Structures are given as C-alpha cells and as structure tokens.
Chain A
Amino acid sequence: MSKTTRSLIAAAAFAAVSLPTLASAQELTIYSGRGEAFAQPIIDRFAEETGIEVEVRYGGTAEMAVLITEEGEQSPADVFWAQDPGALGAVGELFEPLPEEVLANVPETLRDDEGRWVAASARARTFVYSPERVEEGELPTSITDLTGEEYRGRVGWAPTNGSFQAHLTALRVLLGEEETKAWLEAMIANDTQVYSNNASQLQAIADGEVDFGLVNHYYLLRQKAADAAFPVEQSIFANGDAGNLLMAAGAGVLASSDNKEAAEDFVAFLLSEEAQTYFAQDNQEYGVIEGADNAGIEPNIEDVILASPPLDLNDIDDLEGTLNLLREVGLL
C-alpha cells in the first residue's frame, strides 16, 4: 500500500468518527425547503432565545416533501418549512392542526382552513420586464394580454416552478378550467419561452433573450440589492386581474413529532414580531401578521392586496388538477 492510500484511509477513519452522530440529544428537527442563507439566521435566534437545540435539514422543497411522505409515521422531522403552498398541501395529511392561538394572528386567506399549516411570510406574483426594450405605455394590464401578437416570443415563464403552479391553480379557480387551458395553449402558441425558475427568468431579461417574465416579487429586490444597475424592473397587473396574487410560504407541525410543544413554539416564533420584521426588512418578503411592518417593499403590499382578485387561498389546493392540465398541454 502506498503512502497516499494509507493516509487516505487514516483520514477516512478520522472523518467517520468525528462527524456528529444522530444519537445526540436533539430537541427539535426542522426540514426546510427554504434556503439556509434565508432561514438559518432566524432559526439561530429562536435557539438562542428558547434554549431549545435545533437541527435543520436543508434541501429542495420538493425533495423534502417527498422525503417526509416516504418517512411517514417514522419521520424524524418535527416541523416542515416550505417554499410554496403546493408542497404544504402535499404533506397536509401528515400535519397536526396548529393551536388556535398560533393561527389567530394571521389572516384566514394565508392559512390552511383546517389549520394544518400557516404562512410565515408572503410573496406577490409580479411580472418583470426590461425597461430598455419596453415602453411605459406598453406594459400589459392583464395576464391574458400576454397571448397577444405584440408579445410573441417576448415572454418567459417557469412551468416547473412551485410558485408558478400555485398561481396557475388560482387561475383555474378565477377563470375556470376551459379558459385557463385556452390561455396556456395561446401562450404556448405565442412562443412563450420556458425557464427553470425565477432567477433564470431575470437573467434572461437582463441578457436580452426575452422582455417579460412571471415571477415572485423578491427575486428582483435581492438582485437589485447586489447590483443596483441590474436592467430589469417589475410591476403588477391592473386591479382585480387574475395575474395578481399574494401567496404563502409557510410551515406546519408533523403529527408524528415527538416534540410537538417545541415545534409549535417554533411556528409561533415565525409569527413573532421579531421574525416577521426579519422576513420583511432583511429579505424583502412580506410579513403576514396583523400590523407587520412591510414598509419599503416594492410592490407595496396594500397595492397587491387591493389589486388581487377575490380569492381564498384555500381554494387553490388542487395541485394535482394543475399538473394534469400542464401535462395535457404538454408543458410537463
């Protein structure tokens, strides 16, 4: 055996014994589809303030949802914190309803009607556009405008993205099945460009590939924070249009949790003033509790609520129907 091999084996043995084992006294386990850069600071504050030890598992929202479903009753997770309502709905059966006092502070439209999960932060669906190639007067007033000839090949979207799919579920409620399908087909016929997520749509507009995209509001704000000159702007459609929507990213407590008290404390903490301020002021998402301070986040949350069509978020839980529709028109 060469020296390299020997030292490799020694390093491996050392590595194998030095990683923290699972058996250590962990109090609370969170599965997070929210990214670490976003979630960890606030989880650290919770751990500091309560003295509860927290372990977090980070991954894609979809992967985490599939994992919890596979684990079922045996899941080590106490809390699932997800990016979009679709994932929360998929795990819904495995959640334990949250206590009334945790839910009380959040408007009914931003929580599951059986109380199984609750929004921790909210985001607006917006359209982004290139200020260089789009005149002020040229901005669309409705999401259905985008099927027009003047938008041919100029619009991007992300049919595989969870937020887009939640929005599409809302469209099915608002416009009806037939009309939503017709809109999708007209968009496809209009050479709408497929992207994998929100960030790549922004990049595509900056790169000059397309002039419009359909995204969540905070991606552009974070991009602008890193680069103020980034050549993309965003706006919302006219009041009452189905293209406007306020959506939840939230959390629930798993029925299989052996530490429900700490888990409920954590969800309650996400709805505390401290956490809500952090979501809004540090990360440009909207706080969801009564009186949350969402000042300075564009578009202004009051405008978004005012512009949103009348819709109960609980009516947009039929993700399966949306996926079938996407398959029917050949987008999935």
Chain B
Amino acid sequence: MTTLVTGGRKRAAPAIFVIPAILVGLAMLVPIFYLVLRATEADFGTVASLVFRPRTGQLLLNTTALVAGVLILATAIAAPLAWLTTRTSLKGRRIAHILVVLPLAVPGYVMAYALIGLSGYYGFMNTLFGWTFPRPQGWLGATLALSLYTYPYIYLNLRAALGSIDASLEESARALGASPREVFFRVTLPYLRPALFSGWLVVGLYVIGDFGAVALMRYEVFSYALYTQYAAAYDRIYAAWLALIMITIAVSVIWWESKLREGAHFARTGTGSGVRSSLSSLSTLPSVAAWGFIALVALASLGLPVSVLAFWLSAEPLLPSLPALLTSFWHSVSVAVPSALLAGALALPVAVMAVRYPSPLSSAINRLAFIGYAVPPLAFALAFVFISLGFARPLYQSHLLLVIAYSLAFLALALGPIRAALYLARPSLEEAARSLGYSPLSVVAHVVFPLIRRGVIGGMVLVFVIAMKELPIAFLLAPTGYRSLAITLFSRTSEGMLVNAAPYAAAIIIFSGLFVGVVLRHEAKHD
C-alpha cells in the first residue's frame, strides 16, 4: 500500500551524512569562487560590450531552441522504450535494454561526424547508390545528434521509476473504475515526474554545455561564444564572465526543476512488500512494431557511428596500433572507474540528505551538487588548476586530482538514479532498524543499500561512460603523459588524420559498450 508522504521524518540528519554532503557542497563552490575572482579582473566596459550585444541574444535564443528540441525528441524516443522494457512481456527486452543504453558510449563528436558522413561524399548513399544529398545541420542537425546520444539519460531515469512502481496502486485505481488512460495520467505519470525531471535536468544542462556536436553541425549557441573566448582569444577574464552567465542560466534551470519537484512525492508506507506490476503481454503485431521502433533507434544511434567508423577502420590495418590502443584504454579506465566509484560514494550522502532529511541545508546542497555539471568544463578545469597550484601543489596534475574533478563534475549524473531509488524505498524499514539500535551507517549498508543498489550502480555507470569520452577537463588536469582514448582521438582528428583516429573512436564505443553491457546483464540477473 502506498500513500502520499509530505516531507520526511523530523529527525536531525546523522553526521555521517551531513559532513560529506557539506564537503561536496563546498567543493562545488570552488569553480564559482575562481570565476568570480577572474571576472573581477575584467574591465567592465569591455565586458559589457562583449556580453550586451545583439549576437548574445541570438546565441541565447539558439541555446533555448536547442534545449527544447532535444528534450522533446529525446523524451519521445526514451518514454516508449522505457515502457516496453519494463512493463511489457516483449521478447528479448533485456537485449533491447542494453541496445538502447549503449549510445551513451558514443562521443558527441563521433555522432556528429557520423550524421555528416551519412549523406556526403563518404556516405552510405554515395557509396551504395552514388547519391549525395544535403546533410543534417543547424538546429535540426544539432537536435538530432544530441538527442541520439542523450536520450538514454531520460530512458534510464524513467525505467528506474517504472520498474519500481507499486502495482497495487495502479490496480486499486483500476478497481475503482478508472480507465487505463486515467490511471496513466493520474497515477503513473505523477509517480514518474521526479524521474522525468531528473532526466531532463541532466540532458538540459548537457546540451547547454556541449560544444563538439554544435560546432560540427554549424549551429551557434552560447557555449560557442564561451569556447571561442578561451580557444581563440586565450582569454580567461572575459571568458569568466561568459561562464558566470552560463552558470546563471544553468542555476535558474536547476532552481526551476527543484521547484517543480517540490510537490508531493511518494514512498511506500504500508505493511507487506510492494507488488511488481504485471507485464502487459504483446501480441505478434505490436511486438513486431515495438522491435521495429527499437531497431530504428538502435540503427540511428549506434549503427550510424559504428558503420562510419567501420568504413574508416577498413582503410588501415588495425594490428600494428593495438599495443598503443591498449595502453590508452588502460589510461582511460584507470581514471573512469575510480571516478565512477567516488562519484557514487559522494552522491549517496547528498541523496540521503535530500530524500530522508529534507531541510534548507539539504536542498541547498542538492542544488549545489549540480554546479559541477553545469559549469563549462574548460572553466571548471581552470578553477582546479588554479586551486591546486595555489593551495595543494602536490595534487597538481596528479591522477587523484583528475579523479576528484571528474567525480565532482559528474556527481549530478549519479545523483538522479540514487535519488529516484531512495524515493521509492520505504522509510519505515529504516525507522524499524534504527529503533532496534542499529547505527545510521549500518542501516544504510544493510537496509537501504540493498534497496537502492540498482540506482547506485546505474548512477556509477553513467559517470564511467561520460568519463571515458570527456575531453577539456582531461586536457588541463591529467598527468602529463596521460593518453586516454579520447585525447588521442582528438589529437588525430585535429591534424586531419581521420583514418588514424578511427581505432580510438571505435575503442571508446566498444569498451564502454562492453562495460555497460556487462554491468547491466549482471544487474538483470538480480531482478
């Protein structure tokens, strides 16, 4: 039985959660502090002329249009997929699940190259039929490219929520005479709201900050202006202003999202265990249609980049470059795995504070937790360069600093799934364990963690996958001599050596893909 719970138990949060959460919140202020410091060095007249001009307005409009486009398209892709893999008896839905998550592993610039390569001189159509047609570009191209590799964030959030809905709720509604449509809109959808907003927030912030795909698609957004300040003007001072403006936009998005989410949320309170929803059985025709849709999504989001890479790979023997590839792979993994674990560990107390001990402090920390993800990566990395040089010289260019920076930058990704899982775990179980005299830590380890394990692991996978393909932060913070797959890929494409770059792009997709596949399969066995 599930009822509405408003607010949490009025109990002070244990130090074991409060202290790490506060530390995370403070760490998120580092980049802001740095940017304000740099921004105040600026000559205000120049800043004003840079910022307040018609072009900035145009860039903001373009950014807004892009965010809206991607959210709509990505949700349209993700929602049916989430429903199919959790609520129906579709044959092969585990394979479908893995297939539709894998595009997370595709670096944005590879996806954009692939879309460009689809239609042009090297495109399939040209190779097969001698057709060339205009390639996707501008708003449409950027929306398409970004949606195709960000929709899994929305999918995973929705799936977690759909998979944990207590069926007794929907069944009661049906028993009380509600039509399936009414059940969906009045019971299921409100239940999905927090998950949907979490997904939107992550994707929206990603889109605001993305530079690679929009540059290739020739669509000029705000991040373009910021990047060119650093990249063309070698300018940290005016760029700091632009970064602060971008953060302001992001913070307003974060604030808006948390306002929307502040409505009531659900948790199980009754006795007995939750009931898993019964699966709708699909007859032949809908099954075929469902697989048609899954195949279409997989073809566009995975098939495209993979086949473009295959074309490049076919131009050169792979064997000689294998040792270097393996070294690069090892470098990538040695940062991505610890970053994922640390991000998960740091996100846990922040999420527990938010869901179990709501207070002004905990909601402030929860909003701060998104800052790392919202700060443009170049500015974020420069802040850590500055701080470590000034206050922690031994950390500078250390493996550890890069891991810390990644875990803070991507903490928000781990937070969503953990928070969603916590909302659906029953507080009364924890209360019982506490009243039996268990410490907060052992309650988390033995009662809460088993219930939210999927959320935690899901969050970590997201961090791992994005850390495997991240560029600007690695450029600035990695140990000298660090050659991750992504850095090598960039190095080669920048010299126009696309063929030599292909093995590295392929390796990112294959390795991340395998990793995601293994984790997800393992998880599925536990269901």
Mark A residues whose CB is within 8 Å of B: 2, 4-5, 8-9, 11-12, 15-16, 18-22, 26, 29, 34-38, 55-60, 62-67, 69-71, 74, 76, 86-87, 90, 160, 162, 165, 193-200, 202-203, 206-209, 218-219, 222-223, 226-227, 230-231, 319-320, 323, 327, 330, 332
Q: Do residues A29 and B337 form an inter-chain contact, with CB atoms below 8 A?
A: no
Contact of A8 among B337, B453, B499 (CB under 8 A): B337
Q: Do residues A69 and B397 form an inter-chain contact, with CB atoms below 8 A?
A: no
B176 located at the interface, meaning its Cβ lies under 8 Å from any Cβ of chain A in the complex: no
Give 26 A-B contacts (CB < 8 Å), ordered by A residue.
A2-B453, A11-B337, A12-B341, A15-B338, A18-B334, A35-B491, A35-B494, A36-B491, A55-B481, A56-B480, A59-B476, A60-B490, A60-B494, A62-B230, A63-B475, A69-B236, A71-B389, A74-B396, A86-B232, A193-B218, A200-B116, A206-B120, A222-B495, A323-B233, A332-B225, A332-B232
Q: Which residues of A contact B231 (CB under 8 A)?
A: 60, 62-63, 160
Q: Which residues of A contact B230 (CB under 8 A)?
A: 62-63, 66
Those of B198-237 within 8 Å (CB) of chain A: 215-216, 218, 220, 225, 227-228, 230-234, 236
- A16/B399 contact (C-beta < 8 A), A4-B519, A63-B475 known: yes
Q: Which residues of A contact B479 (CB under 8 A)?
A: 19-22
The segment from B161-169, B349-357, B378-386, B432-440 found at the interface with A is: B378-386
Which residue of B has the minimal Cβ distance to A62?
B231
B264 located at the interface, meaning its Cβ lies under 8 Å from any Cβ of chain A in the complex: no
- A-contact bits for B367-404, CB 8 A (1 contact / 0 none): 00000000000100010011001000100111110010
Q: Do residues A70 and B385 form an inter-chain contact, with CB atoms below 8 A?
A: yes
- A-contact bits for B476-519, CB 8 A (1 contact / 0 none): 10111111000110111111111110000000000000000001
Which residue of A has the minimal Cβ distance to B54?
A330
Which residue of B has the minimal Cβ distance to A14?
B334
Q: Do residues B483 and A35 form an inter-chain contact, with CB atoms below 8 A?
A: no
Q: Do residues A219 and B496 form an inter-chain contact, with CB atoms below 8 A?
A: yes
Complex-state Cα separation, A25 to B314, whole angstroms? 41
Chain B's interface size range is: 35 or more
**In terms of DSSP, what is the predominant structure of the interface of chain B?**
helix
**Chain B: minimal CB distance from A256 (Å):** 12
Q: Do residues A195 and B218 form an inter-chain contact, with CB atoms below 8 A?
A: yes
Q: Which residues of B contact A330 (CB under 8 A)?
A: 54-55
Which residue of A has the minimal Cβ distance to B393?
A74
Complex-state Cα separation, A41 to B97, whole angstroms? 43
Those of B330-355 within 8 Å (CB) of chain A: 330-331, 333-335, 337-338, 340-341
Q: Which residues of B contact A19 (CB under 8 A)?
A: 331, 334, 399, 479, 482
Of residues B227, B230, B334, which shows the largest number of chain A Cβ atoms within 10 Å of its Cβ?
B334
Q: Which residues of B contact A194 (CB under 8 A)?
A: 218, 220
Q: Do residues B385 and A71 form an inter-chain contact, with CB atoms below 8 A?
A: yes
